[in-house]
Amino acid sequence: MSRTAAEIIKEFREIAAHPKKAIANHKRETGKGAVGIMPVYCPEEIVHASGYLPIGMWGAQKKTISKARTYLPPFACSIMQSIMELQMEGVYDELNAVIFSVPCDTLKCMSQKWHGKAPAIVFAHPQNRKNARKAADAYCREEYAIVKEKLEDILGVAITNSAIKESIAVYNENRAACRRFSDIAARYPGNIRPSDRHAVLKARWFMEKSKHTVLLNELMTAIETEPKKEFTGKKVVVSGIMLEPYEVLDIFEENGLAIVADDLAQETRNFRQDVGDDEDALLALAKAWNDFDGCSLATDAAKPKGRIIIDAIRKYDADAVIVCMMKFCDPEEFDYPILLQEFDSAGIRNLQIEIDQESTAFEQIKTRIQTFAEIL
């Protein structure tokens, strides 16, 4: 008997809430453990090709920060504060390794202050990637090769070119499924609540990608089979690093706002484009990064993020954009004045809210969203 969309979403919520259970299940099924993926833009396919589970490290909702303040300044971003706190509590000790990309100053410093039992692998993406493309591809490929070699040494496995190519195919299939789900969620705003959409996409960070694809396909079939519920609210696009905790997403729902698209580093930015089919798998991954557009952490003087967001607003006939500013995220904060100018020039209504993983009170956000929803 086919399951309902609600039943499948409940499973996604469980997975998103219990990453340790996902690690235990993978270890039981394969005999292999997990590799932590620090935010953001790690070539996960290399880890996947090893047989180990890539597991996203995004901190924790409503996490009290105490020990981490000894090692990080108070202006370090909310995600890094939370991750450092969890690391000092031993939460990540069972990981076999942790991979850091260092696209911002905070991640760079975090990689040098890692005190967990799991060994850290650090790599850097090329900065001048658009103006010196051939050099950028070569540099990025070499960085990925070092990641592969260090993983092989730590995990005691061989990671072959063919295995990485197979993993790229698995990930591309998952990316396509996630894009399709995002489109379906936009068409069924009465059926898919903001918190539902988030749970489905967050669970992706804690699941082997082919399994996520299977479960996602089951959900999409269920959504399209069930009656379409009426939606009389307003549609918005959200932008930022991440949009949590669930209490904030519930405020969107309470005020009749449906999220029809996102420009979040935790969500759509990770499946916006596929990886090519070059014979050299590491080069394919490198080219995909250098092709990538639309994130404050990805250096690009052309600043195409505003255009990408505006295009999404027009594609999904959204009423507004809400920028979810991660507290003390310097790259996003530097880009915001540019975005604001572009939104105003395009006549797009916009709102900024601050996201802080340590926060347990949401009255200010609630008031701002409620007031904004009333004028849409």
* pLDDT tens, residue by residue, 115-125: 788 999 999 99
**Predicted local confidence at residue 27, as pLDDT:** 96
Q: What is the mean pLDDT of residues 41-50?
A: 97
**Is residue 258 pLDDT above 80, yes or no?**
yes
Residue 46's pLDDT band, with cuts at 50, 70 and 90, is: very high
Question: In the block, which residue shows the tokens 């669970």?
Answer: 203
SS (H, E, C) 233-254: CEEEEEEECCCCCHHHHHHHHH
What kind of architecture, by CATH, is found in domain 5-162?
3-Layer(aba) Sandwich (3.40)
Residue 197 has pLDDT above 80, yes or no: yes
The number of CA neighbours under 13 Å toward the Cβ of 244 is 23
CB contact burial 191-207 (16+ within 10 A = b; e otherwise): bbbbbbbbbbbbbbbbb
pLDDT tens-digit readout, 336-362? 999 999 999 999 999 999 999 888 889
Task: Tell me the one-letter amino acid at 317.
Answer: D
Nearest to 182 by CA among 171, 168, 166, 198: 198
Token pair for 348: 């797009």
Q: What is the pLDDT of residues 83-116, one digit of tens each?
A: 999 998 999 999 999 999 999 989 998 898 887 8
Q: Smallest Cα–Cα separation from 140: which of 4, 299, 339, 33?
A: 299
Position 299 scores a pLDDT of 85
- Please report, for the chain, the start and end positions of each structural domain, with discontinuous segments joined by +: 5-162
Which residues of 175-319 form beta strands (DSSP E)?
A: 234-240, 257-264
Strands ordered across the beta sheet of 234-240: 257-264, 234-240, 320-326, 350-355
Within 10 angstroms of residue 142's Cβ, the number of other Cβ atoms is 14
Confidence band of 68 (pLDDT split at 50, 70, 90): confident
* Tens of pLDDT, residues 223-243: 999 999 999 999 999 999 999
Q: Where are the alpha helices (DSSP H) in 156-193?
A: 161-187
Phi/psi of residue 230, nearest 5 degrees:
-70, 140
Is residue 136 within 8 Å of residue 128, measured between CB atoms?
yes
pLDDT surpasses 80 at 282: yes
For residue 67, the model assigns a pLDDT of: 87
Tell me the per-residue pLDDT of 153-188, one tens digit each, with 9 for 90 and over: 999 999 999 999 999 999 999 999 999 999 999 999
pTM: 0.96
pLDDT in the model for residue 70: 86
Q: Which contacts qualify for 142-145: CB closer than 8 Å, 24 or more apart?
A: 143/286, 144/43, 144/46, 144/282, 144/285, 144/286, 145/282
Q: Phi and psi (nearest 5°) for 137?
A: -60, -45
